[in-house]
Structure 1
Amino acid sequence: MKPEPGVLQTCLFFRGKSVEELDVLLETMRYSVRDFRKSEMIISEGETADRLGIVLSGVVEVHKIHPGGGGITIARLEKGQTFGEAVLFRRENLYPATIISAGRSTVMFIGKQELLRLFAADTDMLARYMENLSERLVMVNRKLETLSAGSLRRRVVHDLLRQADFQGADTIKLPFSRKEWAEHLNAARPSLSREMGLLRDNGWISFKGNTVTLLDRKKLEELYEDK
């Protein structure tokens, strides 16, 4: 199955390339495309990372499974996003997490040797690859920043303030479900709901579904700064 060039344009790896250029590239590139069912495992933790994955449709989730059962969702990857790039060229190139299809999804795979050939032929693609790695590092740093914020209340407030800054408004749309947010915060969903209820009952926020309004930003900032 040949990927749609328009879909590949949403991937940072191919940014700047025209539909015509991608059509020509796909004629010479070695790759594979696979469809996955809901909850189907795409990559298992500990598997050798020998290819780059690009999400063409649907959503895939990166899970860290605990030895005793259960786990957390580290990331949700949508159309145009990639996985495997951070470990592909490591000496111990093993996947540190499990990747699962959240629903029906389609993924394009490009092997390590093929990537090296593409980099040698097109230094712009190599630059995009490095940019992609940098973006992923920023995401990891943000995750660590959230988890190191302290109590669950401070982690919740930190995320709300960061989203407000990112979206440029005090009424924000959370980019994840309550369950996904709880996993992101490394907290139980009831605990997260309890904290959100407390912030609402004190008149500091209001919310409906995934839409949250920061009613007293100054107080929220004080809560975050209060060690």
Structure 2
Amino acid sequence: MNALAEALKKNMLFRNKTEQEITGILAKINPTLRNYSRNEHIVREAEPAERMGIVITGIVEVQKMYSTGKVMTVSRFSTGSTVGEAVIFSKTNTYPATVIAAESASVLMFTKKELLALFALDTEIMALFMQNMSERLILLNQRIEILSLGTLRQRIAHFLIKEMKQQKTERIRIPFNKRVWAEHLNSARPSLSRELCYMRDQGWITFDDSTVDILQVGELEGLLQ
């Protein structure tokens, strides 16, 4: 399988397609493959949202920049992930955040016209796009739910319980590093580390750089009551 088709099969729009089907679709739509160096901007906040991208290689980060100079990493995406799809058809039609290449990356870019042509060509892809938008709305509501909790300890407990249910194991793989995790919980990294150490000392969890083992689910659930 060629590398481009292999990467696209990891994307939600093309996951049910064969290499031949993907190659045929791209030949008709003709999107642009762009290469980016580490820390290069892919899109900038407030720019017109004229493109949707699918990450082919590398890692990209979505960042929110504040007037104070603070930069918060909202999320990280790797091969097969889609960026910019949430705003390309919006009335505001500007990017709400900046996307950079966290390392050398290549991104397959679709203009709005190319995306509409893709939907007309394949209604299954259009349905998957709409499904993805619904799932993103659910995730946004979950994020709001996390941030509405009163304390960082409660936010950590909520996150761990949610991930335990999704991953179906009490050994949870954390999908990002401590800095990004802390930003996801609207906290500072030292504060997150202190709370994790407290939970460990209480015997509720154990953890390392990439995993957390939940030992006392009831204690975490009790924080949320």
The alignment's TM-score, normalised by the length of structure 2, stands at: 0.95
- Residues 1:46 and 2:46 are matched in the alignment: yes
CA distances 1:8-56 after superposition (whole Å, capped 9, x unpaired):
1111112311111111112222211111111111110000011111111
Report deviation, 1:198.
0.8
CA distance in 2, matches of 1:150, 1:62: 26
Helix, strand or coil at the partner of 1:27: helix
1:147 is aligned to: 147
CA distance in 2, matches of 1:124, 1:205: 43
* Paired residues for 1:1-227 under 5 Å: 4-225=4-225
Structure 1 vs Structure 2 CA RMSD: 1.4
Report deviation, 1:97.
0.5
CA distance in 2, matches of 1:217, 1:125: 40
CA distance in 2, matches of 1:204, 1:12: 36
- Give the conservation status (yes or no) of the 8 Å contact 2:14–2:125: yes
Relative to structure 1, the CA distance from residue 94 to residue 3 in structure 2 (aligned partners, 3 Å threshold; closer, same or farther) is farther
Helix, strand or coil at the partner of 1:4: helix
Matched residues, number = 224
The alignment's TM-score, normalised by the length of structure 1, stands at: 0.94
Report deviation, 1:176.
1.2
Report the more deviating stretch, 93-102 or 110-119: 110-119
Match of 1:102, as an amino acid? A
Unaligned 5+ segments in structure 1 are none
Report the more deviating stretch, 104-113 or 9-18: 9-18
- Give the conservation status (yes or no) of the 8 Å contact 1:15–1:128: no
- Give the conservation status (yes or no) of the 8 Å contact 1:72–1:186: no
CA distances 1:61-93 after superposition (whole Å, capped 9, x unpaired):
111111111121111111111111111111220
Match of 1:105, as an amino acid? A
Following TM superposition, the consecutive aligned residue runs of length 4 or more in structure 1 with deviations greater than 4 angstroms are none
Unaligned 5+ segments in structure 2 are none
Q: Percent identity?
A: 42
CA distances 1:103-135 after superposition (whole Å, capped 9, x unpaired):
111101011011112222222221121112122
Report deviation, 1:3.
6.1
